[in-house]
Structure 1
Amino acid sequence: MNRINPQKLLLSKWTAAYPQNREKHFLVTELIRDEEGTVLEVELQAVLTQRSERFEWQILKNNSEWMQGWK
């Protein structure tokens, strides 16, 4: 499990363990928060295709799917 501080995820870099459509490297471009400011979701943008997708930020803690940094 990756240890993550959700407040510091903005502009962090991630590598997909199992790339799809040649999309391997991602950048967190947006943090989606609730009314109290708690991070609920992140928007990940593929570096190669610029495609964005929203996920719950906890999915990044699973190191069998995501690795921190670009590898």
Structure 2
Amino acid sequence: MNKTEKASTASGITVKAFGLPTARRLNPKKLLLSKWTAAAPHDKEKHFMVTGVIQPEPPATRIESIELEAVYSRRVFSLPWRRLTDRKHWLQGWQ
């Protein structure tokens, strides 16, 4: 880490000075029932909750996908859990 970066241990992210966080660390085992906000809402769907963690066939392999449910419309869809780390599309918590 150089002088322009500092670590934030409380949230587990690296923050550049005068900028947005560069990466978000997520534990896929702790995603169940977590809350997310879409950065660009579509069809009045802004707030989402992780309602399912899709387990892979061989249980020893890593979790790849999650199910998100829109709070407003109750629409459910799945996506790779690593997409939640992209701050351009998803914000952690309901905002």
TM-score, length basis structure 2: 0.72
CA RMSD of aligned residues (A): 0.9
Where does structure 1 lack aligned partners over 5 or more consecutive residues?
Answer: none
2:38 to 2, 11, 16: 16
What is the match of residue 70 of structure 1? Answer: 94
Instruction: Give 2:29's aligned residue.
Output: 7
Q: Tell me, yes or no, if structure 1 residue 31 matches structure 2 residue 63.
A: no
Q: Does 1:45 align with 2:66?
A: no
The count of residues paired between Structure 1 and Structure 2 equals 71
SS of the aligned residue for 1:59 comes to: helix
> Percent of counterpart pairs with the same letter?
45
Q: Following TM superposition, where does structure 1 have runs of at least 4 consecutive aligned residues deviating by more than 2 angstroms? A: none
When Rg is computed on C-alpha atoms for both structures, the one with the higher figure is 2
Q: Give the TM-score normalised by structure 1.
A: 0.94
Shift, 1:37, TM fit? 5.2
Partners of 1:46 and 1:59 lie apart in 2 by: 16
Show structure 2 runs of 5+ residues with no match.
1-22
SS where residue 38 of structure 1 aligns?
Answer: coil
Partner of 2:8 in structure 1? none
1:37 & 1:7 partners in 2: Cα distance?
13
Amino acid in the other structure paired with 1:4:
L
